[in-house]
Amino acid sequence: MEDQVYAMPRLGDKAPAFEASTTQGKINFPADYAGKWVILFSHPADFTPVCTSEFMTFGKMQKEFEDLNCQLVGLSIDGLYSHIAWLRTIQEKIEYKGMKNIEVKFPLIDDITMNVANKYGMVQPGESSTSAVRAVFFIDPAGIIRTILYYPLALGRNFEEIKRVLIGLQTADNFNVALPADWQPGDDVIVPTAGSCGAAKDRMEGKEGEMHCYDWFFCTKKLSKAEVESKLGK
Ligand code: BEZ
């Protein structure tokens, strides 16, 4: 039988819809999350070390993501009983880098059929045909995919970068700006060129504030950390 070919979701696409069983009950995705940001992420397998270190980190940071109006949803090609046993082991037995008694409260999808993993292009056969790669989908409150990250099986994700991406997307949306390399809240932001949507109007109305231009196509302005924080999670 020929392998079935699945379309990979792209940036700007609507998040593919599905219903699934999770460690927190059934979910109807993305409808249940309307009005919130969601990070939908996959891991290769329960009871594996890199995934355990990642889950402990995400579990520890869950409140930080919720404070940004963002819900976490995990997935692997394992069944519900495996998920439950693994999360219990993490909470009861694993102490790692100062993290212990970590209770993972966000849903972990049972995707033993690979239905969701295939819809989201999480199974990448060159890397593994029996498990999902480490994918991270950032989905906005309107259900649109805004950023996708893929990591291989052998490399754990950087969770500060995942949080920075979320803050960056919310900042770009709220302030109509772009963000330069390695941007962190409080750093200068890029003013879109005059021809781009919204920017011309802002310039004509004198709303741009003081700019520093490196050339005609590259202008930045200040945006304080306090201003950014006042809009995050909104
Ligand atoms: C891990 O999470 O440790 C892992 C999972 C699959 C392959 C390699 C490593």
Q: What are phi and psi of 211, to 5 degrees?
A: -115, 155
Atom of ligand 1 nearest to the CA of 131: 6
Instruction: Specify the amino acid at residue 44.
Output: P
Is any atom of ligand 1 closer than 6 Å to the C-beta of 50? yes
Q: Which two tokens stand for residue 16?
A: 């593919």
pTM attached to this predicted model: 0.93
Query: What pLDDT is recorded for position 1?
Result: 44
Is any atom of ligand 1 closer than 6 Å to the C-beta of 99? no
Is any atom of ligand 1 closer than 6 Å to the C-beta of 45? yes
Annotated catalytic residues are 51
**Tokens 């995942």 correspond to what residue?**
162
Full pLDDT tens readout for the chain, 234 residues: 456 677 899 999 999 999 999 999 999 999 999 999 999 999 999 999 999 999 999 999 999 999 999 999 999 999 999 999 999 999 999 999 999 999 999 999 999 999 999 999 999 999 999 999 999 999 999 999 999 999 999 999 999 999 999 999 999 999 999 999 999 999 999 998 766 655 555 555 555 669 999 999 999 999 999 999 998 876
Query: What pLDDT is recorded for position 86?
Result: 98
Atom of ligand 1 nearest to the CA of 53: 2
